């Protein structure tokens, strides 16, 4: 059976981590392995900068590109030694695609430019990883994710055409019968053969799509954490790891902002019944966390999810009229058009208040639409804390010494906005 392994940016951030990846894969020589990789280290951020500089016609585009090239070249030199290895040409050719773009005028659609440039990060890393697996006698084929993950033209948030994507799986399946396959997370292709991306951190989602459509035995995401923790160990010293979690709970946690897995990852796996393992990349003998339908949830442990940099916007009418259903629909429409995702919402007779990730551009867009018709008040720099399976005493400890701006409780979930 097929096992899908996903290695994020951290797991391919330098030569040492690529070596560790190969060591992990070599332990599974009896399995059919599909490897999904992210861009190396912080390459996606660097490519975003490059794209902005290009679109804004700034002068530092070439310098940014040079830094990205140098970063990859250093890793290759450490892995392959001499520059005579064919991977150096493959990588140079991959960069040529960006260079050609940079010589032309930017396309009027920023998101289109973004996807053509930023997707290159995954092409670079997958080429290097595939070459290094072959170098270590793991017979590996590099494949282009755009031939499998078919999307529409929604650049930066490509919507996958599931039927078309499903019908391309037999080709991948038969390749996997013969060789280990390396492909890219995060990217797809349109019917006109342009690249799309699936949203930041989207390679977990790609891996879930591959695993579910291939009916894989499992998906393993190799992470820089021991597994799924009930809280961020950097903020809560007593954080502990879950041995197992039901799909539904993992989905809730991702939805409320636990960053260890992308929120879209769970649904395809649940639908296809493919278990997900979240395992520590640096301690590959550890079991990590298993997520499937048989897992039992230990509600003695509460999950604490902290989202920082939150904004709270309260909208009320100027003439003392109710926020009725009509107005509510209008407001939600405006919020959706500004691409704002609500993290918490509360309504009273005269106002609608909601909390979302601070993003100046999106906020301005919404504010400009609403400011003439409504009274708008806002706070910035807040924390939103969500506690699943909360205990009252625990909430007191979490909020001690802080000002509570707003709170909301359901049977299982407490949400508190703190200053
Ligand atoms: N490389 C992309 C990003 O950093 C996708 C991913 O890592 O999942 O957002
Ligand atoms: Mg990443």
pLDDT digits (tens, 9 = 90+) for 242-292: 999 999 999 999 999 888 889 899 999 999 999 999 999 999 999 999 999
Residue 413 maps to a domain? yes
Specify the ligand 1 atom closest to the Cα of 202: 8
Which structure tokens are listed for 321? 């009229």
Residue 217 shares a structural domain with residue 308: no
**Domain housing 44:** 2-223
Per-residue confidence (pLDDT) for residue 82, from 0 to 100: 80
Q: Whose CA is nearest to atom 2 of ligand 1?
A: 201
211 plus 319 within the same structural domain? no
199 and 341 share one domain: no
**Residue 361 belongs to domain with CATH number:** 3.30.2130.10
pLDDT at 139: 98
Instruction: Report d(CA 252, CA 79) in Å as an integer.
Output: 40
Protein residue with its CA nearest to atom 5 in ligand 1: 201
Cα separation, 164 vs 173, whole angstroms:
15
Is 311 a domain residue? yes
State the closest ligand 1 atom to the C-alpha of 122, by its place in the atom list counted from 1. 1
Q: What pLDDT is recorded for position 260?
A: 86
Domain presence at residue 204: yes
Per residue in 347-389, pLDDT tens? 998 999 999 999 999 999 999 999 999 999 999 999 999 999 9
pLDDT over 90 at 133, yes or no: yes
Q: Residues 308, 214: one domain?
A: no
Query: What is the model's pLDDT at position 52?
Result: 97
d(CA 203, CA 120): 14
Atom of ligand 1 nearest to the CA of 203: 8
pLDDT for res 414: 97
| 207, 274 contact by CB (below 8 A) | no
- Asked if the model's pLDDT at residue 142 lies above 90, the reply is yes
Can you give the pLDDT at residue 83?
87
Please choose from 6, 9, 158 the residue to mutate so as to test ligand 1's pocket, defined by most ligand atoms within 8 A of CB. 9
Backbone angles phi, psi at 147, to 5 degrees: -80, -10
276 Cα–ligand 1 center, Å: 19
pLDDT of residue 259: 85
Q: What angle do CA 251, 256, 258 make, to 5 degrees?
A: 75
Q: Is the per-residue pLDDT at 109 higher than 90?
A: yes
DSSP string, 317-329: ESSS----HHHHH
Question: 213 and 331: one domain?
Answer: no
Say yes or no: 47 and 186 in one domain: yes
When pLDDT is averaged across residues 189-218 and rounded to a whole number, the result is 97
Task: Please determine, for residue 186, whether its predicted confidence score (pLDDT) is greater than 90.
Answer: yes
Contacts of 85 (CB under 8 A, 6+ apart): 76, 131, 135
pLDDT at 143 over 90: yes
Q: Is residue 123 in some structural domain?
A: yes
Query: Are residues 61 and 163 part of one domain?
Result: yes
Among the candidates 223, 252, 267, a domain finishes at 223
Mean pLDDT of 49-64: 96
Average pLDDT across the chain, whole number: 96
Tell me the whole-structure pTM to 2 decimals: 0.92
Ligand nearest to the CA of 119: 1
> pLDDT by residue (tens digit) across 148-184?
999 999 999 999 999 999 999 999 999 999 999 999 9
Considering the domain architecture, whether residues 329 and 217 belong to the same structural domain is answered as: no
Using alpha carbons, select from 160, 157, 275, 262 the residue that is nearest to residue 215.
275
Name the residue with tokens 């010293």: 237
88-116: string of b/e by CB count within 10 Å (b at 16+)? bebbeebbeebeebbeeebeeeebbbbbb
pLDDT number for residue 24: 98
Q: What average pLDDT does this structure show over 299-306?
A: 95
End residue of a domain, out of 188, 223, 258: 223
- Domain assignment present for residue 333? The answer is yes
Cβ neighbours of residue 370 closer than 8 Å, sequence gap 6 or more:
315, 331, 334, 376
Task: Please tell me the distance from the alpha carbon of residue 240 to that of residue 242, in angstroms, as a whole number.
Answer: 7
- Establish whether residue 41 lines the binding site of ligand 1, counting it when its CB lies within 6 angstroms of any ligand atom: no
Q: Does ligand 1 lie within 6 Å of residue 156's CB atom?
A: no
Residues 16 and 143 in one domain: yes
Task: Evaluate whether residue 228 is within a structural domain.
Answer: no
Residue 189 pLDDT > 90: yes
3-state helix, strand, coil in the chain (%, to 5): 40, 25, 35
pLDDT at res. 231:
95
Cβ atoms of 7 and 203 closer than 8 Å: no
* Residue 276 forms part of a structural domain: no
Q: Among the residues of 305-403, which ranges form H helices? A: 325-337, 360-370, 392-399
Span 26-42, average pLDDT: 97
- Return residues with CB closer than 5 A to ligand 2 (ion): 8-9, 38
- Residues 219, 341 within the same domain: no
Does an H or E element contain 187, and which?
strand 187-189
Residue 232 inside a domain? The answer is no
Which domain CATH number covers 162?
A: 3.40.1160.10
Which of 201, 223, 245 is at the close of a domain? 223
Number of domains, the chain:
2
Which positions ≥6 away from 388 have C-beta within 8 Å? Answer: 249, 252, 253, 256, 302, 303, 305, 412, 413
| Maximum alpha-carbon separation in the chain | 75
* Closest-CA residue to 276 (of 302, 240, 250): 250
Q: Given this model, what pLDDT does residue 104 score? A: 95
Cα 254 to Cα 190: distance, rounded to the nearest angstrom: 28
Whether 227 contacts 288, CB under 8 Å: yes
φ, ψ of residue 328 to 5 degrees: the values are -60, -45
């Amino acid at each position: 059976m097929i096992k899908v392994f996903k290695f994020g940016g951290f797991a391919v951030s330098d030569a040492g981590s690529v070596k560790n990846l190969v060591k992990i894969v070599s332990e599974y020589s009896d399995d059919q392995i599909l490897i999904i990789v992210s861009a190396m280290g912080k390459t996606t951020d660097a490519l975003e900068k490059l794209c902005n500089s290009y679109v804004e016609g700034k002068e530092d585009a070439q310098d940014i590109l040079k830094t990205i090239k140098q970063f990859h070249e250093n890793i290759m030199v450490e892995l392959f030694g001499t520059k005579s290895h064919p991977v150096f040409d493959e990588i140079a050719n991959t960069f040529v695609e960006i260079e050609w773009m940079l010589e032309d005028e930017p396309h009027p659609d920023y998101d289109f430019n973004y996807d053509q440039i930023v997707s290159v990060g995954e092409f670079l890393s997958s080429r290097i990883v595939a070459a290094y697996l072959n170098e270590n006698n793991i017979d590996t084929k590099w494949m282009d994710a755009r031939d499998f993950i078919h999307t529409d033209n929604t650049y930066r948030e490509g919507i996958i055409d599931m039927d078309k994507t499903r019908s391309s799986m037999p080709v991948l399946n038969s390749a996997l019968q013969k060789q280990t396959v390396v492909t890219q997370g995060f990217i797809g292709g349109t019917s006109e053969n342009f690249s799309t991306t699936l949203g930041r951190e989207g390679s977990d989602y790609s891996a879930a799509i591959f695993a579910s459509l291939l009916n894989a035995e499992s998906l393993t995401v190799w992470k820089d954490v021991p597994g799924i923790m009930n809280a961020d160990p950097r903020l809560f010293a007593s954080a502990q790891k879950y041995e197992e979690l039901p799909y539904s709970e993992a989905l809730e946690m991702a939805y409320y902002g636990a960053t260890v897995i992308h929120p879209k990852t769970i649904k395809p796996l649940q639908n296809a019944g493919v278990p997900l393992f979240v395992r520590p990349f640096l301690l590959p003998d550890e079991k990590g966390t298993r997520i499937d339908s048989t897992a039992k949830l230990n509600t003695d442990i509460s999950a604490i999810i902290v989202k920082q940099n939150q904004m709270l916007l309260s909208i009320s009418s100027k003439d003392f009229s109710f926020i009725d259903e009509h107005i509510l629909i209008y407001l939600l429409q405006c919020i959706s058009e500004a691409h704002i995702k609500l993290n918490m919402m509360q309504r009273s007779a005269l106002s609608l208040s909601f909390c979302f990730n601070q993003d100046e551009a999106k906020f301005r867009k919404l504010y400009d639409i609403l400011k003439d018709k409504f009274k708008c008040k806002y706070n910035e720099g807040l924390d939103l804390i969500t506690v699943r399976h909360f205990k009252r005493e625990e909430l007191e400890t979490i909020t001690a010494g802080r000002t509570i701006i707003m709170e909301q409780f359901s049977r299982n979930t407490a949400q508190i906005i703190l200053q």
